[in-house]
Structure 1
Amino acid sequence: MSARYPTPSETSHSPCPDYPPALGESRLLTDEERTESLECALRSWDRRSDLWLFGYGSLIWNPGLPTVEAMRSKVHGYHRGLYLWSRVNRGTPEQPGLVLALDRGGSCIGIAFRLAANGAMPHLEALWRREMAMGSYRPAWLPCVLADGRRVDALAFVMRRDVPSYTGKLRDDTIRTVFGCASGRYGTTLDYVSRTVAALRESGMPDRALEALLTRCR
């Protein structure tokens, strides 16, 4: 699927000069490309052992798959932030939204979910349709420290900096504009961020930086 993006002259009326961004044409991964991505990510999995998934955004409050265990966990080397323009789930090609991604540096607290090996593939395929529609993430196995001290490798979706949808550091007025207008097939960006902030706090691991950003920009 491709989409035409507005030219600068067509968007000169925008109250924020940095929005909407010039992202070029968008294209959804084909079924074959998505399957290849999934198979590549699972090469190190023996298909007999349960596997872990690391949730740091909507997976915390809407995992969308049956899990046999869920526990607070922490990964080092990556932090959570609104680094991905969303042209499907939380926005449109004309008014992209924002979603969270893991970017390099720092650490991130989230929820590790254990998925039973038996019958896992259909659920992983559904997860790939949800998270890898445009291939903006890099699936990676990250070392996680669970709240009870166990150490596991968990599959997570890490931001690719080589794609046009990578935002880099955004100004508050840009985020404020997105909160005011962006909505996609799963709802608004503002609702997405608000629900993530609430879920993190309810899980006993509030993200102070994300809460402050929501307060400033909502």
Structure 2
Amino acid sequence: MAMWVFGYGSLIWKSGFPHDERVVGFIKDYRRVFYQGSTDHRGTPEFPGRTVTLEPAKGEKCWGAAYKITSKEDQHIALEHLEVREKQYDKKVYVDFFTDPDSSTPAVSNVLVYIGSADKKLNVNYLGPAPLQEIAAQIAAATGPSGPNREYLFKLENALKQIGCEDNHVSDLANEVRQIISRG
């Protein structure tokens, strides 16, 4: 039986694991937000970066990419990879994945997605909401072992454009970070 994984952040442009198929689509009733602290990839414990997580949002659609993994060996490899890569995300949920905005029937059910919850007891890296300028300043300044936090933001913005998705939270943040960088 195939396993499916939904990516809404860096998984959109870089899966890092073998897969049989990549499908663009969305999940319902969630929105992508830069509320998750990154102390292991795009920041440090002393100066966390910000990466995306999902928060419940009735009626919203979060676009991304779903990966189909068929062989048991590839599923094992993918899960091992994701458990390390997504270790700062405290929740794994299974969702319905849609490809047609007009359909009420999911293209695939039981798609695995990693979420950093807002529960500070379970997710010590949750930073939560802040003013746009504050989030942008943090992203502009943070750097971690995987590179500058701004690179993550700009790659996400570009990946979303490539799949035809407009995400105002991402584009507003990217524009604000560009302004900060241009001011030096």
Larger Rg: 1 or 2?
1
1:108 has 2:54 as partner: no
How many pairs does the alignment contain?
168
Contact 2:18 2:69 (C-alpha < 8 Å) held by counterparts: yes
Q: Distance in 2 between matches of 1:200 and 1:103?
A: 18
Q: TM-score, normalised by structure 2?
A: 0.84
Q: Distance in 1 between matches of 2:76 and 2:54?
A: 24
**1:1-218 alignment runs, 5 A limit:** 49-105=1-57, 106-119=60-73, 120-132=75-87, 134=88, 136-147=89-100, 150-163=107-120, 164-218=124-178
Q: Distance in 1 between matches of 2:4 and 2:68?
A: 4
SS where residue 72 of structure 2 aligns?
coil
Per the TM alignment, residue 88 of structure 1 is displaced from its structure 2 partner at its CA by 1.0
Q: Measured at CA, do residues 209 and 194 of structure 1 come closer, stay the same or move farther in structure 2, by a change above 3 Å?
A: same
SS where residue 98 of structure 2 aligns?
strand
Per the TM alignment, residue 167 of structure 1 is displaced from its structure 2 partner at its CA by 2.0
The code of the aligned residue for 1:93 comes to P
Contact 1:138 1:159 (C-alpha < 8 Å) held by counterparts: yes
Per the TM alignment, residue 81 of structure 1 is displaced from its structure 2 partner at its CA by 0.9
SS where residue 156 of structure 1 aligns?
strand
SS where residue 146 of structure 1 aligns?
coil
Q: Distance in 1 between matches of 2:108 and 2:81?
A: 26
Q: Distance in 1 between matches of 2:175 and 2:43?
A: 21
The percent of aligned pairs where both chains have the same amino acid is 28
The code of the aligned residue for 2:18 comes to P
Q: TM-score, normalised by structure 1?
A: 0.72
Contact 2:50 2:138 (C-alpha < 8 Å) held by counterparts: yes
Unaligned runs of 5+ residues in structure 1 are: 1-48
Per the TM alignment, residue 177 of structure 1 is displaced from its structure 2 partner at its CA by 2.1
Q: Distance in 2 between matches of 1:137 and 1:194?
A: 25
Runs of 4+ in 1 over 4 A off after TM superposition: none
SS where residue 24 of structure 2 aligns?
strand
Q: CA RMSD in A?
A: 1.7
